[in-house]
Amino acid sequence: MFYKTKNKIDKNKYKFTEDWFSHESESKVVIQFEKFLSQYKNKPCRFLEIGSFEGMSAIWMLENILTHKDSRLWCFDKGETWTKNSFETLITNIYKTNKQNQVEITKGSAEENLVNFPRSYFDFIYIDGDHEAETVLEDAILSFRILKLGGIIALDDYLLGIRWPKSPGAIACKNPPKKAIDYFLEIYAEKIKILYKDYQVWIKKIKE
Ligand SMILES: C[S@@+](CC[C@H](N)C(=O)[O-])C[C@H]1O[C@@H](n2cnc3c(N)ncnc32)[C@H](O)[C@@H]1O
C-alpha cells in the first residue's frame, strides 16, 4: 500500500546511519506513531522513549507531536557497544531540533531509571531498548506502573525473528520479545486495550 504523509524526517538536516522508523524503513513504524499519537499534538504531555539510538523516533515526536511548549520527552539509552558513537549523535541531533529544553536525555539502562518516576506520570512510552525477552518484560511492567490511565505504550519488534528472520537484530537476539509481550498482554488483559498488534504492539491503559 502506498502511504502518503506530510510528516517526513529531514534526513539532510540530521545524521542517521540506520532507519528502523520512517516510511523508508521496512517496518514503517511511523505509520502507527501518526495514527495513535496525533491526539497529543499541541497539548502539554509527557513522553518517554526507552532506546533512542540516534534519535530518529525522538525527533519525529518532537517535530510532529510534542509541539506544545510544555510538552516533554525523556530519552533513555544505554549506549551499547554495537551502537558505536550513536549517543553523541543523539545529542547533536536533538540540539538541531532546537527543542533541547523540552528533552531530558539519560545515558544508562532504562530499567534502573524507570523506578524513579511516580505512578501515572507519562502519556506515552515507547519501548524500543534491549530486545531480549527478559528485559522487554521488565520494561513493560515498569512502564505500565508509570503510565497515566488512558495513556499508551508501544512495544517494538513483537515479531523479531519471525517477520525478517535474517535481519542482524534477529540473528543477535537470543530470546526474542514475542514471548515477553504475549505474557504481558495476558497478565494485564483486564487493564489494557490492545490498539494494534502486528510488528509492533500498541496498548492503552484502561484500568490502574
Ligand atoms: C533499535 S535502537 C532504538 C531506535 C530508535 N527508537 C529509533 O527508532 O530511531 C535500540 C537502542 O536501545 C538502546 N538500549 C539497549 N538496551 C537498553 C536498555 N536496557 N536501556 C536503555 N536503552 C537500551 C541501544 O543502545 C540502542 O541505541
pLDDT for residue 158: 97
CATH number of 30-205, picked from 3.40.50.150, 3.40.50.880, 3.30.479.30, 3.80.10.10: 3.40.50.150
28's torsion region: left (phi>0), alpha (psi -120 to 50) or beta?
left
- Looking from the CA of residue 130, the nearest atom of ligand 1 is 16
Would you say the CB of residue 61 lies under 6 angstroms from ligand 1?
no
pTM of the model: 0.96
User: Looking up cell 530499567, which residue turns up?
Assistant: 111
Would you say the CB of residue 134 lies under 6 angstroms from ligand 1?
no
pLDDT for residue 15: 96
pLDDT for residue 4: 52
The domain locations on the chain are 30-205
Region 64-81: mean pLDDT is: 96
pLDDT for residue 8: 82
d(CA 98, CA 189): 40
CB distance 151 to 124 below 8 Å: yes
pLDDT for residue 168: 85
- In tens, the pLDDT along 120-179 reads 999 999 999 999 999 999 999 999 999 999 999 999 999 998 888 888 888 888 899 999
Q: State the distance between the two ends of the chain, measured CA to CA, in whole angstroms.
A: 38
Residue ID of nearest Cα to ligand 1 atom 14: 129
Cβ-proximal residues to 78 (8 Å cutoff; 6+ apart), any chain = 51, 107, 108, 109, 110, 129, 130
* Single-letter residue type at 149: L
Instruction: Give residue 1's pLDDT band: very low, low, confident or very high (50, 70, 90).
Output: very low
Give the rounded percent of residues in the chain with a pLDDT score beyond 70. 97
- Looking from the CA of residue 18, the nearest atom of ligand 1 is 9
Residue closest to 36 by CA, chosen among 172, 206, 204: 204
Would you say the CB of residue 139 lies under 6 angstroms from ligand 1?
no
pLDDT at 110 over 80: yes
Q: What are phi and psi of 82, to 5 degrees?
A: -65, -20
